[in-house]
Every structure is written in C-alpha cells, then in structure tokens.
Structure 1
C-alpha cells in the first residue's frame, strides 16, 4: 500500500490553497504535478554545472553532457528500447509526431494510405492531414462506438497493401479509454505498415515496453509523468530512424558542413539540432526514477481505486452522463462527464472558486465531441497522489454548482 500522505509531501504545490480552499488538483491529464526531487534537479543544474553539452572540452560541459546522456540511458531502460540512440529527445509528444510526419513526407506517394483512430488528440491528427496534403496520401479513420471504444473489425477491413502508416494513442486523453495497441500494431505489420503510438496519456499510468509492443515509434512528454514541461522523447526503431531524413537543420546534427555539401551525424544527434533543453532532459530522468521508485504496479492499483470510487460517487448525481467505456478495466483514471442542461465550462468555473482544478472543453479532441454532439466535457483526471477524500470534496462541489445553475 502506498503512503499517500508521505507521497503528497513530495509535491510542494499540493499543500497550497486556491481561492481560500485547499487545492484539489484533478487536471493531471493535462499536466501532472512535480515532486521536489525533480525541482531540485533543475535548480542543481543551473546552480552547479550549467553549460552546453557535447561540444565542450571543459569540465562543466563534460559534467552536463554525462548527466544528459545518463538521462537518455534511463529512458532507454524505462521504455525497454534496444539501444539508447533509439531515444530521441524532443520538446514533447507533439514534436515527436511532427518529426515522424516530416520524415515520411519523403517516403509516401500519391494514393498511399495512412490510418488514424477517431480517439486522437489534435496533435495526432493535424500533422497527418498536413502530410496527406503534401504527398497526396489518403487519411482513413478507425471509427468509434458510443462507449468510446475503437471498432477493431472495421480497422482490420481498412488495412491493405496501400497502408503505409497507422497512428493511435495508447490511452485517450478525452475519455481514458485504453486502446488495444498490441492488436493494432500486429495487424498493421501484417500488411507492412509502420505504427506510431502516442503514449502521452499512457506513461503516467503504466510502463510501456516498446520491444514487447513491437511498435515502430512511441512518443511521450515528461510533464505528464512528474517531469518538467518542454521536453519529451521519440522512441524509434533503429531501422526507421536511419531511413528518415533529419527534421531540423543546425548545430549538433551534422558530421561535416561545407557550402557544397553537408553530411549528417549518427543517431541520435541526427534528429537533435541546436542546443537542447538540457536541464529538462536531466530532470526527465529524475522524474522517471521517482515514479519507478514508487512502482507502476502500486500506481496502477491506487489509480484504479480512485477511478472506481470517483465513478461510483459521480453516478450518485442526477442528470449525469459519463462518456467512455463502462468497463473500468479498459480505462485509465479519467472521468469525462457532463451534467445535462449545463455547459461544462460553467461547472468548471464554479468549482474552481472552491479550489478544484479540472479541465473543461473538447480537450484537443474535437472529433470525439462532435461524435457525441456535445460542446465538450468536464474531465477529472486522477494521479497516484490524489485521494478519495478529494473526490468527496469534488463531488460535493459539483452538486453545489449543479444546484446554482439549475
């Protein structure tokens, strides 16, 4: 069993008050909170060894380089990549997706087909639309049902020798649905297609094994899993990373430069032009250490209890509609809901005055909201440091808002 109060003490922000009330932070799907050990690692970098990496022979540069590359190796082990150079540091999930889309612009041909799911975040839709506009490829969409689950029988029929790429999130940010990514990857590979998995919402809740999944690309952001903003990773199989051209040109990603010709550096530097977010990468490694220290099995158990308890408590409310699968074993600790007749923004605004942070709107997943024919939802997303007592406060606040707005 986790000592939740001890864990909460690791997060300075959780002890503060908002609008005169103790903070109840249920917006973890957007950004998780940051433990002191991660904050301290950022301060330590800028206090003791702030220097540019890889190029310098002086001591501070070497210390910073070692710390940054050690973080890369930590992430390799965490995601179980075969090689540490298969881990590319990015500014976050969105850049990782765009890097791959940019690379495939030189590979795809007119009338090639790429497949995306109906449950995607905008950042896993828009880059592929742009890619299709550039190449003449055709974008197809795996449909969903009212329970927020993808229709796998339709997906299998969509696959053909024309299918070159398949994209899917591991867990839906809007609904919390855990998608059958193993099946999606296996079937895509049967027709020779590559697969990118958007792991932004998955990495706070589980520990992806990219070799076991056998995905070709996996993307994630540090700020979803107790790390800083502005840094993330792209995992890519070596064979694909060697095929794709560089995403950006500049320093660090070159081997030689003349005005006649430039040759590119080896992996991973081929995709890491310019001065990176050095302290962010180092802090990402510290965040991964922190979460592994707690243990992902223990995290999953705690969050499943919160999901079950929160769902039960919210179902006590009148005129509530919860969106997404009713099978909680296929769902992460996210509850997306509405109170009939009340705009989600109005609920969110009122409960904010009571110190409660939730997300309202379409959650950068507008096609999902269009499917349900709603303007958006109220999304409560729980982390391992949240408590059932906080859920009780939240439910009572929603009841109060409902009374005020009815």
Structure 2
C-alpha cells in the first residue's frame, strides 16, 4: 500500500518515503533493507518466499540465500529483532519470511505533493510510470522549477552528502526548486523493471513532472541523462521551456564508433567496466572512475566505486552500460525547438568533446560553451564548476 505509515512498537515505517524511524529518530538503511521491510510489513498476512524477496530487493539472479539472509539480518537488527526471538521477522520453512509483530496503519500520505519543499529540506516521494514501475523523486529548495533528468549513479537518499554530488545541489537549488529522480533500476526507484527503452525513460520523466504538477519547465540533462533530455524536449516541446546539457552526447559509445579501431576501443572500455562490476577488482573500478573524475586521487576513485555499489545491483549496472552505449537521439535532436545551452569539458575523458559539437550542430537554437577541464562530472574544486553554474544561471534567467 503506497503511502501507508505503519507503527509497530516504537518504530514507524513510512512506505511513501521509504523511511524507518525509532522514537521519531530516522534510522539510515540501505535501500534493499528498506524495500524488504516495506514488502514484509505490507504483506504481513502471509509468508513471503525467497524468490519474491529477491525480486523486491532488486537482486534476482545475482545473489543467493546467504546474501538474502544478510539483508534480513540487517533489517532485523534495525528494528531490534536481533537474536533468536524472531519477534518481528520470522523465518518460515525453507527461505520464507513473515512479519509477525503487531502493526497498525497510522496515516496515508497524499499522492500529489501539496507544494514545494522548504529550502533547507528535501522531500522524497514515489510515483508510478506508465508501465507500473515505481519511480522515486525528490524536490529541494524554493523558487522557479528546474527538472533534472535521471542519470546513472544516483541515490536520492544519500546523494546530498556524497562529495561527488553535494555541490551540485548547492548550485542547482540556489533560488530554484530542483526536481530530480532516480533512474528505474537505480537508487530508491524500483530495481526489477520490465523495460529499459528510451520510451520507458521518457515515460518515467512524464510521471515525475505530472506528480509534481508541472506543465512547463526548464530541463537539465547530465551525461547520459542528456540524451533522455534531448529526446524529451523533441517529443514534448510544449513542456520544455529551456534545455541545458552538460557532459552530454547524442549517440552512445558503440553507436558513434565509426571505425574498427573505435569499435575495438568501445568494446574494450565496456569489457573493463563489465569486469569491474563482476569482480569488484580495484584496478578495473579505478579505470572506470578515472573516466568520470579524471583529476581525482586514487582514494577518490575508490570512494566513487564504493558509492556506485550503493546505487544499484551489478546486474543492473551492466545493463545500464550496455543500454547507454547504444542510445541514439541524433535523428530527433533537430526537433528540439527551445533555446538550448550545451556545456562540455574540452578534455572530457568519458565523452569526447566531438559529441558536444555534434549536439550543437543538430539542435537549431543552441549555444555551445567549452570549459577547461578533464572531468566528465565537474567536481567541487574544479575551476570549471563555478563557471558552469554561472552560465546556467544566466541562461535560465533570460
């Protein structure tokens, strides 16, 4: 039951915000643990089997009973159910679990938010895309809206305290209300998804802006989120007032490879990333991290890899890499009719500057700004970061 708030003992489980509290104090948990708790409490009238729980936590096919038992163990500890008592979550038969503690439903949260979040708060809510996929979205700050399309490697619940993203929220929410969401298969959004096509991603964005109640708004696309933003602006011209693209591309790595050497390089790049996801070998993971954060230290690359593991499963991580390497919006980019700002690092190690030039040549009413940087994602201490924010502020104020 989306929106229900459950009470059991001194604990409160808000199924709408996916939050667990004890005596009014929030308990920070990984998304898989919260998802498992919500599912068990919502289906407390029956035993939930192992396969169903693996689907719920987005790990089907990638982990076994031991890993699921670890998630259950963490959930039990979070609600004071450690030890052999099993007073809240009881193991039943082989691989089944049931929530057995007395629980009451206190309130039901509204499906549509009543208004913007205060500047010092962030509100996380959930909506359903056209195919039923649950999408987590957040609103932060006050003022005119700015919608940011989802991009790989986000987790709404922890991003504001992650060094890779924290400065983005300080910059993007200054005098504005930022609306962002987790990609399907990622963060707090549903991990086990029926489809992952461009149409699905556009549908997710539609569901978010409809839930927030926006008719027309500026749209920001970062990295692969830029391709989704271009497609959305082309297909929904009545909704997008201005478009900002940074570190973006029209064609994924495999699609834009025009020679045998470029195709070989693209395959090697994907294979290294695949090896990193599957083996968690630090050398592979650092290579991938260095493409996103070229000027970072090895310790920062390791932190990036650790954060990446929090955002999604290895199975979905591989799926993202392969899907985005084949995305192609070059055929519809010319249909974008709103003013567009394209910002790109001259020496972007992940997406070559040629992709920014291609976008600028395809989108009619566009302007291109190239910044002196090697980082795919501008860091807080990158001289290009305040310059990017200055260009974005000026463009949105026009």
TM-score by length of 1: 0.27
Larger RCO: 1 or 2 (CA < 8 Å, sep 6+): 1
TM-score, with structure 2 as normaliser: 0.27
